[in-house]
Structure 1
């Protein structure tokens, strides 16, 4: 009888131990934030400040909005999706992958950038024989690529420069083409050239807003069966908080201040 009671006691202790470990693991579980490449540096600053204020750790997965959307549809365990547009989050919402409707957090700015000392970034230079390669995010997967196409069409030079275009899968890969000087010039997000790593490198010009549709960028909480959504909600709220908006503005985005 004593042996049986002893075994029951050991089993009970083991059960308590397992519950404690599971509880700690859940408590320390990191948030996984899928972020469009143009928001990489901005989100890094946000997650650092968010961690210092809440103790909640975050890890980021950076890619094009289109590719991240495909990964979410295939079951990638992301908690939050920070897109470079509204199209992809809305697509996920309509197909039941999100907890709530997407919400616009900022409007992006398109720039033309070069790291070549002998080249001035200007739209008129794009048709020059001196320019052999023009970097652009791929319009199929990256919203900033769509904006680039709109700019080139607006100024009636798309057909003239189409053969020079070198497409990056995302803003991040496009930046690599520009910083490695594989492309003499390239279109990218203003937030990139304001980041700590790339600030004051090269020369850029802002593209006139009238030449492309507003790059409305939205975010959404992803459905994760069985996961506690409170952490996701805290970060989502931080993104739209006064402090979050200050970080966005610092990185070159336009935000809606009257919310």
Structure 2
């Protein structure tokens, strides 16, 4: 008896139609999903913005969260992002100057730096507190890749504290990692985004104090449309416009942005 191992298998016509329908639906969903590179400080608020944007436009959006510097490097290496929401203007400006974007970056928000802890600490004289034996670890984001880490470093230098507390500093790759250090107690104190206060409102108590804006360069958060928007140019432009809308600004304001 001869056995043909390559004989095609016959399936009922209904099964074939169902498989084709599922494949088409999956491809269609993938094509519609707008991939947005999102700075880690937006980790909480981006979910709210995502829902509002999809509700208003019926466009699916997929946020990819990371430090601004790392996301910028991924874009240079061909990552399939259509829009980049940075925590500063430097990385978007660099992408624009090197030809990766469709136009100059636009500011969509101003960030606010805070010092905080999950312990009930008195931050009225936080400069003295950081130098005390009570504080063993101080978390901040890597200033080379995370704008909020850069702002925190600027504050510590301005206060003549950076060298004095250097042994206590614990660096996170991004603000998201700093927030994990704070929530898990790896560090008693940290410098992070005011958005954490809203993110943690229903999870755990955060004790915090806003760092005066005059103590660091304004954290202008910029966005750009990536030139190779992966076939989603129109959707990218709609999201870009949405981020400048009154609705998006109202949501951002609730999370401590200006």
TM class by smaller structure: 0.7 to 0.9
Could you say what the CA RMSD is over the residues aligned between the two structures, in angstroms?
2.2
Determine if contact 1:193/1:200 at 8 Å carries over to the other structure.
no
Q: Structure 2 stretches of 5 or more lacking a match?
A: 1-19
* CA shift in 2, pair 1:106/1:131, >3 Å: same
Query: What corresponds to 1:63 in structure 2?
Result: 66
Cα pair distance change 1:101/1:45, threshold 3 Å: same
TM-score calculated relative to the size of structure 2: 0.86
Partner of 1:224: 228
Of 152, 155, 159 in structure 1, the residue corresponding to residue 156 of structure 2 is 152
User: Residue 35 in 1 paired to residue 38 in 2?
Assistant: yes
How far, CA to CA, are the matches of 2:203 and 2:160 in structure 1? 31
Which TM-score applies when normalising by structure 1?
Answer: 0.85
Q: Secondary structure at the match of 1:135?
A: strand
- Displacement of 1:225 in angstroms is 6.0
Task: State whether structure 2 residue 79 is matched by structure 1 residue 79.
Answer: no
Name the residue aligned to 2:257.
253
CA distance in 2, matches of 1:63, 1:184: 23
4+ residue runs of structure 1 moved beyond 4 angstroms? 196-200
Q: 8 Å contact 1:192–1:198 — kept in the other structure?
A: no
User: How many residues in Structure 1 have an aligned counterpart in Structure 2?
Assistant: 236
Q: Distance in 1 between matches of 2:229 and 2:189?
A: 45
Q: Distance in 2 between matches of 1:231 and 1:243?
A: 18
Separation in 2 of the partners of 1:167 and 1:42? Answer: 23
* 1:81–1:198 distance in 2 versus 1, CA, 3 Å: farther
Change (3 A) 1:129 1:49: same
Q: Which range is displaced more, 68-77 or 218-227?
A: 218-227
User: 1:239 is matched with which residue?
Assistant: 243
5+ residue gaps in structure 1? 1-16, 255-259
Deviations 1:130-178 (A, max 9, x none): 1110000110110001100111111111111111110000000000000
In 2: Cα distance, 1:153 partner to 1:220 partner: 31
Counterpart in 2 of 1:127? 131
Contact 2:82–2:230 (8 Å) recurs in 1: no
User: What does residue 174 of structure 1 align with?
Assistant: 178
